[in-house]
Amino acid sequence: MRQAERYRLIVERFAREMPEPKTELSYSNPFELLTAVILSAQCTDKRINAVTPALFAAFPDAATMAAAGVEHILEYIKSVSYPNNKAKALKGMASKLVEDFGGEVPADMDSLLSLPGVGRKTANVILSVVFDRPAMAVDTHVFRVAERLGLTTGSRTPEATERKLTAMIPAEVLGRAHHWLILHGRYVCKAHTPMCGGCFLADLCRHHEKEHGKAQVRGQSL
């Protein structure tokens, strides 16, 4: 199957099965989403959603978080991964927002990347979810699922995967595609135990084709 055809069919299938995918992080404004995404690095959305209500109540905006001490912020996020580093990042992010952006989350990549704790993945999430820009945030789920489906081949970095997906997926669905790939990786195409038998993309999947072929060969050799 040609790659362009693979992309077209997979996008159509996702659009049918998951017409309105959304982030599973709980938030009510851009600052809260930015905070939650920074916290979510190497941590589950479920864990982040457990700590953010109290965190957001204590620090409802960048100004209040910027005015707080790192130890005060740390009290609210002790149960997440790498809490000390993340507390420092949140303090730095909030301070930068107040000092350079009037307390508001900026809407361009370069400005977002200037914020402590914000890398390209986080910036792309904000651009896509908050500002409805055609951006593709690549996390471990997106990286893995794209490779297994055959949307990428031998991609070595998240940036390479981002470039490929951005080039091949229509801009008008790119934001949804980010959520499609994350949710599919989280609940179906899991890292160690992919649920191929119940996957609506199995007939289009390069990984499933390879594994199915191996299974046939093993069966014939017994």
Question: What is the average pLDDT across 180-199?
Answer: 95
**Annotated active-site residue in 86, 91, 96, 139:** 139
- pLDDT tens per residue, range 149-186: 999 999 999 999 999 999 999 999 999 999 999 999 99
Active site residue 139: yes
Helix 3-17 to helix 158-168 angle (10° resolution) is 80
First CA to last CA distance, the chain: 31
Active site residue 91: no
Counting other chains too, the contacts that 198-205 makes at CB distance below 8 Å and 24 or more residues apart are: 200/13, 200/17, 201/10, 201/13, 201/14, 201/149, 204/1, 204/6, 204/9, 204/10, 204/13, 204/149, 204/150, 205/148, 205/149, 205/150
Mean pLDDT estimate for the chain:
94
Q: Which CATH architecture has domain 30-129?
A: Orthogonal Bundle (1.10)
Domain spans of the chain, in order of start: 3-20+138-221, 30-129
Domain 3-20+138-221 has CATH 1.10.150.120: no
Rounded Cα gap, residues 152 and 3, in angstroms: 9
Residue 1: what pLDDT? 83
**Annotated active-site residue in 121, 164, 190, 203:** 121
Question: What is the average pLDDT across 136-161?
Answer: 96
Distances (CA, A) of 8 to 11, 12, 58, 66: 5, 6, 46, 45
Rounded Cα gap, residues 60 and 27, in angstroms: 11
Residue 218: what pLDDT? 32
Rounded Cα gap, residues 132 and 72, in angstroms: 33
Give the contacts of 107 (CB within 8 A, at least 6 positions apart).
127, 130, 131, 133
pLDDT at 112 over 90: yes
Q: For residue 133, what are its two tokens? A: 């820009």
- pLDDT tens per residue, range 37-96: 999 999 999 999 999 999 999 999 999 999 999 999 999 999 999 999 999 999 999 999
Question: What is the average pLDDT across 104-119?
Answer: 98
In percent, the amount of the chain with pLDDT more than 90 equals 92
